[in-house]
Amino acid sequence: MSDWIDVIAESALMEGENVVVDVDGVDVAIFKLAAELYAIEDVCSHDGGEIASGQIEGEEIICPRHGARFCIKTGRVTGPPAYEDIICYSVRIENGRIQVKAF
């Protein structure tokens, strides 16, 4: 059963920032870009390391270790050495709180 998990206050995430939260035991990176929220698993599919600390360029995040690129909006890989997408989560705001839908 899929449930919405309350993770953080909307006011805690500013434009251009991201935060890593626990969603049912999985680290999920939530990004605020152009006033929209996006959530992807905080893992590079190339080597399994975290990705949230990587540099953001437009709608992409660059892995801080090997430079793989991923679309923040969809989790789609956009540049090697990664070739597998990152899991993307549904995210919403409910009563001033950011919520992520668990699988």
* pLDDT tens track for 29-54: 999 999 999 999 999 999 999 999 99
Tell me the DSSP string of the chain: ---EEEEEEGGGS-TT-EEEEEETTEEEEEEEETTEEEEEES--TTTS---TTSEEETTEEE-TTT--EEETTT--EEETT--SPPPEE-EEEETTEEEEE--
Residue 22: φ, ψ to 5°? -90, 125
Q: Is the pTM of this model over 0.85?
A: yes
pLDDT, tens digit, 9 for 90 and up, residues 55-66: 999 999 999 999
CATH number assigned to the domain covering 4-101: 2.102.10.10
